[in-house]
Structure 1
Amino acid sequence: MRVAPSEETREVARAAAQWLALLESGGASDADHARLQHWRASDSRHENAWQKIQQLRQRFAGLPPTLAMATLDRPDPARRAALKRALGVAALVPAVWLISRELPLEVWRADLHTSTGERRKVQLAQDSSLQLNTDSAVNVDLPARQLTLIRGEMALNVAGDSAFIVNAPYGRMIVNHSDISVRLNARDCQVCVLRGSVQLQPLHGPALVLQQGQQVSLQASGAGAVTAFDALMPGWRDGVLMAQNQPLGDFLRELSRYRSGVLRWDPALESLRITGSFRLDDTDQVLALLAASLPVDVHTRTRFWVSLVPRVEKTG
């Protein structure tokens, strides 16, 4: 059985594909070439990914355009046109192949998805709207009024009488006259009700009704205990990451979901406390604010590799 790649591996693969796209577009400047060399030299995994994508580029360079384009996993017409303009066939195939090795195929085939750091809002019907958080994917069947969460986090607001059904790996939710948030984690699916009530049907165990202000974790074994949800959690819907006396380690783990690349921090910083509201549109600015308000220094090796360390106070 193939072991799922880590998020760091996925981000390195994405970065390698983005660098190849830039070079093949013909628009790379001398500064871009210098940044690429720095990125490759900064970590052995970067160089390994770059060598792999170069080998794939050579392997696929001789493919006829029609065969090369057929290897893409059902992109929509706008995405297909953008990719063709940006890359050219020789670069397109290895880039897509490499990234598809690092991301589940169903994410690429999803009807709606977001990249790291992206959020998206879609009007499903006159009475219903869907929001996707960072790095998320959903399949949509409007005639059947069904959604299937494949990856990440979504919020669904249904104002009318006709229910939407939300399918997830650990159960399903029947939503009408309700506003819910659903987050798929590695081993569970967290369901929060912001308004109304929602019927939950776990894959195993009895069904239950979740009321406004409540949350539950759906797992392979069934539903966990019903608890009150943290009112700060849905802040992402407004583009805000909020913290109230939160351990810095927990805050940084959440922030890292919105950043491409690697965000690391010294374990000594885990227990520091953070309070505030931070705009998700500029995570670099969030890190700068942390450095300004906490005894923390931010070390940026590249745009995709940032480390936080305890600040050493100068003496004398």
Structure 2
Amino acid sequence: MNRDIARAAAQWLTLLESGAATERDHAALQHWRDSHPQHEQTWQRAQTLRQRFSDVPQALAMASLDRPQPARRAVLKCALGLAALVPAAWLVGRQLPIDTWRADLHTATGERKRLPLADGASLQLNTATAVDVDLAQRRIRLVDGELALNVPGAAAMTVSTRYGELRVGQADVCVRQLASGCLVSVLTGAVQVRDLSGQTATLHGGQQARLNAGGLGGWRAFDVLQPGWRDGVLTAQNQALGDFLRELERYRPGVLRWDSSLETLRVTGSFRLDDTDRILQLLASTLGLEVQARTRYWVTLRKSQA
């Protein structure tokens, strides 16, 4: 079974279950199903699998998929061959939400992309990020997630968010969209910020501020090496383990849990994001922890009993 076809079927299923599908979406789905016999076969199998797990709690369904019973093994293999597909609304919804899927460019959980733009500019997308790009208007819309934009020339580009706009020219900036606002971090140069009311302010290199529905908050200094994700690195300097793990789980599909007693342990180091399982093992060995994995999608950290 082609993974791209299976992934597409999961995305379509998630869209329908979200209740946000339009008539145009239904027509596009029907066109996709009609365009190739394997598309229709995969779609029917996806719905069959979804019905089989409709009464199972979503997290437990994921666990059962990692350890299929013999009677179910043939069904799973015959259907989509992807344990991550069912329930689609859980895992695909986490990795590729509806708005993300519809965007021009997106990354799944744990994925990062670097894209060259016109005039020497470059765009990087962090984990679980979606953007719409209009190069003719030199405009980028951050739908969700986090981006880094470097514009070396004087011809500025605009980054629009749910909470306002940024004018970026001869500057290097990171923008992370959160539920309550955007975190704007200027590495070099100067960035003009316009909030939803039309008020403007300028942030300079080494400054960071939060942009929300109420406007731009006061800036603070930050470590320009902090956005290490651009180089595939997650860095901690005497950081609380709880804060570090909350950042790490952005890059891991599934569930990551830890005992509350681990929150205040301290972490220092640089960790490669390409292998988050390896990061957990390193934390366990240096901090005296145990990594308990029910499945590859459900991992818990606890203090070692040894």
Question: What TM-score do the two structures reach when normalised by structure 1?
Answer: 0.71
Counterpart selection for 1:286 from 279, 285, 296: 279
Q: CA deviation at 1:90?
A: 2.1
Following the alignment from structure 2 to structure 1, what is the Cα–Cα distance between the partners of residues 155 and 251? 33
Counterpart selection for 1:276 from 245, 269, 274: 269
Query: 2:31 — aligned with what?
Result: 70
Q: CA deviation at 1:233?
A: 2.4
Counterpart selection for 2:188 from 187, 192, 195: 195
Query: 1:161 — aligned with what?
Result: 154
2:205 corresponds to which letter in structure 1? Q
Alpha-carbon contact 2:32-2:39 (below 8 Å) kept: no
Following the alignment from structure 2 to structure 1, what is the Cα–Cα distance between the partners of residues 122 and 221? 24
For 1:26-41, list aligned pairs within 5 A. none
Counterpart selection for 1:240 from 226, 233, 239: 233
SS of the aligned residue for 2:244 comes to helix
Deviations 1:124-166 (A, max 9, x none): 1132110000000000000000000010000000011211000
1:286 corresponds to which letter in structure 2? I
Alpha-carbon contact 1:69-1:89 (below 8 Å) kept: no
Query: 1:211 — aligned with what?
Result: 204
Deviations 1:55-108 (A, max 9, x none): x9xxxxxxxxx8744379xxxxxxx99xx6797342467769954877643211
Following the alignment from structure 2 to structure 1, what is the Cα–Cα distance between the partners of residues 303 and 152? 48
Following the alignment from structure 1 to structure 2, what is the Cα–Cα distance between the partners of residues 240 and 264? 21
Following the alignment from structure 1 to structure 2, what is the Cα–Cα distance between the partners of residues 138 and 302? 32
Following the alignment from structure 1 to structure 2, what is the Cα–Cα distance between the partners of residues 217 and 86? 46
Following the alignment from structure 1 to structure 2, what is the Cα–Cα distance between the partners of residues 87 and 130? 38
Instruction: Give the aligned length.
Output: 250
Query: 1:303 — aligned with what?
Result: 296
Within the alignment, does 1:225 sit opposite 2:218 as a pair? Answer: yes
SS of the aligned residue for 2:122 comes to strand
Change (3 A) 1:67 1:196: closer
Instruction: Note the residue ranges of structure 2 that are not aligned, 5 or more in a row.
Output: 18-26, 51-84
1:90 corresponds to which letter in structure 2? Q
Following the alignment from structure 2 to structure 1, what is the Cα–Cα distance between the partners of residues 224 and 209? 14
Deviations 1:228-260 (A, max 9, x none): 123342100000000000000000000000000
Counterpart selection for 1:90 from 38, 44, 48: 44
Counterpart selection for 2:119 from 109, 126, 137: 126
Moved more, 197-206 or 278-287: 197-206
SS of the aligned residue for 1:251 comes to helix
The RMSD of aligned alpha carbons is: 3.3
Q: CA deviation at 1:311?
A: 1.3
2:31 corresponds to which letter in structure 1? A
Change (3 A) 1:70 1:239: same
Alpha-carbon contact 2:173-2:184 (below 8 Å) kept: yes
SS of the aligned residue for 2:124 comes to strand
Identical amino acids, percent of aligned pairs = 49
Change (3 A) 1:146 1:305: same
SS of the aligned residue for 2:227 comes to helix
Alpha-carbon contact 2:103-2:131 (below 8 Å) kept: yes
Following the alignment from structure 1 to structure 2, what is the Cα–Cα distance between the partners of residues 101 and 279? 25
Query: 2:100 — aligned with what?
Result: 107
Following the alignment from structure 1 to structure 2, what is the Cα–Cα distance between the partners of residues 199 and 228? 17
1:272 corresponds to which letter in structure 2? L
SS of the aligned residue for 2:117 comes to strand
Alpha-carbon contact 1:118-1:134 (below 8 Å) kept: yes
